[in-house]
Amino acid sequence: EVQLVQSGAEVKKPGDSLRISCKGSGYRFTSYWIGWVRQMPGKGLEWMGIIYPGDSDTRYSPSFQGQVTISADKSISTAYLQWSSLKASDTAMYYCARRGEELELDYWGQGSLVTVSS
């Protein structure tokens, strides 16, 4: 069974750094792209970027380029989303999702809630 399990909720202060994770199981992790999606409170879905764990090829949405870093460790089947200096506006739910054979996002993680507040 394909599963994406994300790390738990985080409460951080502005300026803090953070890395959240997404662990894949039940499939060959290195053969499928993993994307990240942001959902701010009460808002819609926003595409952040995508990584191919097989060779770490990464593509960012222009809206998020330079604001976050997407990475992956194929040895432990885990993708990451990280911030070097959080802002209050980073408060949101973050989802990872696998890109399937038809370029669809066929499996999703349960989401990681990030709250940034002083």
Partner 1 sequence: QSVLTQPPSASGTPGQRVTISCSGSSSNIGSNYVYWYQQLPGTAPKLLIYRNNQRPSGVPDRFSGSKSGTSASLAISGLRSEDEADYYCAAWDDSLYVFGTGTKVTVL
3-class state of residue 97 by DSSP:
strand
Region 1-30 residues binding partner 1, contact defined as CB under 8 A: none
DSSP assignment of 2-60:
-EEEE---EEE-TT--EEEEEEEESS-GGGS-EEEEEE-TT--EEEEEEEETTTTEEEE
* β pairing state of 57-60 and 45-52: antiparallel
Tell me the closest approach of the beta carbon of residue 97 to partner 1, in angstroms. Answer: 8
Residue 62 interacting with partner 1 (CB under 8 A): yes
Q: Indicate which single residue of 13, 19, 28, 59 sits in contact with partner 1 (rule: CB under 8 A).
A: 59
Q: Does 87 bind partner 1 (CB under 8 A)?
A: no
Residues of this chain that interact with partner 1 (CB under 8 A) are 35, 37, 44-47, 50, 59, 61-63, 95, 97, 100, 102-106, 108-111
